[in-house]
Chains A and B, each alone.
Chain A
């Protein structure tokens, strides 16, 4: 959380002429460095709040229903952040990320159900399964570059999806999925009165993901990733093998996704085949692009926005207001996926760089309207 402060401080003092006092006075900018911490604190205490936010949530913030939705938002925000490690930082358009998420969910759940191991052991094993799977399939699919990589990862994920749906030996539960065994889970994680605990777990997953992704992007390997994204051939000429670095990112993103899968298992109380489908990966892609690929907070914002919108649109589709509309409006509104897909196309068009670029674009538009006093 505190990573941005030390590097930003000296540059500001060296070049005071760069300041723009009109828009951001010093105290505001200093506070600006701390907003992630403030936000984290607000999110941390949210379960104690009885605040009503009409329009955003149905119940008070601290109610189990709202906390569950918030937890899902945080999980998907974190998942999108991890996925963006591949998409945004490396330019690897993986279409099979759902597989590693589902691997975390299904492996943990199946180990609990079939072997009867306690949750923590199963979760560690599930994480291990996710890592091995990512290493194995990543090493194969990274042999092809560009769009071929996308297609191969898509094919692998599809194989996983088929495997889950065919239900070999009755261990995945097929189209129904399987509920997690409540007796093997810690008592503080089961039941509607403990939703706040699940929410905090989701929040810590988000923090872990953010810290790992930011740390990795700043590490020496992160520099190489940046180079690979810009020009892979050049990295090769510098004497580095991009393959290993790409595989590292792939496995890291896979492990983070598997961890997310385990958190998801806790929140929803079971494994569902919807998380294995290619549509699920595509929705991750929508989140990343919606928020802003390759930026620090973009994927998180996109994931939260998408999950919230998906939930609210689902409610809207089933509501009486929509049922009373004429067919022209009612038919598209009854399908959240249609609205999300159409929104996505619009975002790709009018908002390249995603939501995080929006303030910058507005500022640009405002300054370009005024007569330009100085260049640069």
Chain B
């Protein structure tokens, strides 16, 4: 029982991490038809930003209490800034060439982690988590690491915030309308490009937050972390139906749980394969993903 509870919580934590990455990807893809291969790089930038700040390089930030919150906020801010820069400098000049947009993000996705490992080395660095978050708490006889809870909470907050933003605000309305039919929104005289930048900023912030909190989850940061998470985030996006936030949330939880349980009860590494098999089966049964959105 204790094992099952622990595995469930760990799986949910992993799912939360996937959701943080996939939600931005899904929104960006839904609105702009850009598959952002640089999303993993944004995650790594956020992770290194938080690690750098928590290492005592940023005044006020540190590895415990409020200082750590500040470090995570700093990492998120750096990631958001990088995302906005990416949109303005790389994506925007290529609006009329959607295929080249993807290729350009591929280039950035290759270059950014390489730059990170050039500056800080390609080996994993220990992520300094606060003492309060490195412990465990008892739940139904299992000792659950606290950081899982932090991840799940962050993902829930993001899910609620995104739903409120998309459903209740004017900008959210523009984004939703843009996902449905971009040219119609443009024809109605709304500058959809502002929405593009906004969506990129949101996606970048979520990815960078995932990076900072992923540092807690994995206990370390390395330049390739983002890319390996990105692939599972892609799986989540395809399974959830592209452009759908709720679908991404459901798929993220499913992928996280399956991966954890399969990795524990069968050989290590089979969980990752099980996820891919799951994707293949889903693609065969429902090519349009769980929510039936257009791919």
Q: Which residues of A contact B (CB under 8 A)?
A: 93, 140-141, 143-148, 150-152, 154-156, 158-159, 162-163, 165-166, 168, 278-279, 282, 285-286, 289, 331-332, 334-338, 340-345, 348-349, 352
A166 to B97, CA, bound (A): 39
0/1 per residue, B153-171, Cβ < 8 Å to A?
0000000000000000000
Distance between B140 CB and nearest chain A CB, rounded to angstroms: 31
Q: Tell me whether A282 and B110 are in contact (CB under 8 A).
A: yes
Interface size in chain B (residues, C-beta < 8 A): 47
Chain A residues lying within 8 Å of B104, measured Cβ to Cβ, are 345, 348-349
A93 to B117, CA, bound (A): 28
Per the 8 Å Cβ criterion, residues 217-276 of B in contact with A are 227, 231, 234-235, 237-238, 242, 267-269, 272-273, 275-276
Provide a sorted-by-A list of 14 A–B residue pairs whose CB atoms are within 8 angstroms.
A141-B283, A143-B284, A145-B295, A155-B234, A158-B231, A278-B227, A286-B107, A289-B103, A340-B110, A343-B107, A345-B111, A348-B100, A349-B93, A349-B94
Distance between A280 CB and nearest chain B CB, rounded to angstroms: 11
Distance between B107 CB and nearest chain A CB, rounded to angstroms: 4
Confirm or deny: B2 has a beta carbon within 8 angstroms of a beta carbon on chain A.
Answer: no
Distance between B217 CB and nearest chain A CB, rounded to angstroms: 19
Distance between A314 CB and nearest chain B CB, rounded to angstroms: 12
Confirm or deny: B118 has a beta carbon within 8 angstroms of a beta carbon on chain A.
Answer: yes
By Cβ-Cβ distance, the 3 closest A-B pairs, closest first, are A341-B111, A341-B110, A166-B269
- Interface-central residue, B119, B267, B280, by most chain A CB under 10 Å: B280
Q: Which of B99, B111, B273 makes the CB contact (< 8 A) with A337? A: B111
0/1 per residue, B89-100, Cβ < 8 Å to A?
010011001011
CB-CB under 8 A for A166 and B268, given A141-B283, A285-B106, A352-B97: yes
- Interface-central residue, B93, B94, B283, by most chain A CB under 10 Å: B283
A348 to B105, CA, bound (A): 10
Q: Tell me whether A168 and B231 are in contact (CB under 8 A).
A: no
The interface residues of chain B, by DSSP majority, are classed as: helix
Task: Find the A residue at minimum CB distance from B268.
Answer: A166
0/1 per residue, B107-122, Cβ < 8 Å to A?
1111111110111000
Confirm or deny: B67 has a beta carbon within 8 angstroms of a beta carbon on chain A.
Answer: no
CB-CB under 8 A for A140 and B283, given A145-B295, A158-B276: yes
Confirm or deny: B177 has a beta carbon within 8 angstroms of a beta carbon on chain A.
Answer: no
Q: Tell me whether A148 and B231 are in contact (CB under 8 A).
A: no
Q: Tell me whether A144 and B283 are in contact (CB under 8 A).
A: yes
Task: Find the B residue at minimum CB distance from A327.
Answer: B119
A9 to B295, CA, bound (A): 46
Chain A residues lying within 8 Å of B145, measured Cβ to Cβ, are none
A156 to B177, CA, bound (A): 33
Chain B residues lying within 8 Å of A279, measured Cβ to Cβ, are 110, 227
Q: Which of A145, A151, A338 makes the CB contact (< 8 A) with B35? A: A151
Confirm or deny: B287 has a beta carbon within 8 angstroms of a beta carbon on chain A.
Answer: yes
Distance between A163 CB and nearest chain B CB, rounded to angstroms: 7
Task: Find the B residue at minimum CB distance from A330.
Answer: B118
0/1 per residue, B278-295, Cβ < 8 Å to A?
011001100100000001
Q: Tell me whether B279 and A155 are in contact (CB under 8 A).
A: yes
Task: Find the A residue at minimum CB distance from B276.
Answer: A159
Chain A residues lying within 8 Å of B90, measured Cβ to Cβ, are 345
A282 to B104, CA, bound (A): 12
Distance between A276 CB and nearest chain B CB, rounded to angstroms: 13
Q: Tell me whether A163 and B283 are in contact (CB under 8 A).
A: no
CB-CB under 8 A for A335 and B115, given A143-B287, A151-B234: yes
Confirm or deny: B29 has a beta carbon within 8 angstroms of a beta carbon on chain A.
Answer: yes
A286 to B102, CA, bound (A): 12
Please give 9 more A-B residue pairs, beta carbons under 8 A apart, in addition to A162-B272, A336-B114.
A147-B35, A148-B295, A278-B227, A286-B107, A332-B115, A337-B110, A337-B111, A337-B114, A342-B107
0/1 per residue, B65-76, Cβ < 8 Å to A?
000000000000
Chain B residues lying within 8 Å of A150, measured Cβ to Cβ, are 35
CB-CB under 8 A for A155 and B295, given A140-B280, A285-B106: no
A342 to B295, CA, bound (A): 30
Distance between A275 CB and nearest chain B CB, rounded to angstroms: 16
Q: Tell me whether A344 and B106 are in contact (CB under 8 A).
A: yes
- Interface-central residue, B29, B115, B277, by most chain A CB under 10 Å: B115
Distance between B243 CB and nearest chain A CB, rounded to angstroms: 11
Q: Tell me whether A152 and B272 are in contact (CB under 8 A).
A: no
Q: Tell me whether B231 and A334 are in contact (CB under 8 A).
A: no
Chain A residues lying within 8 Å of B237, measured Cβ to Cβ, are 151
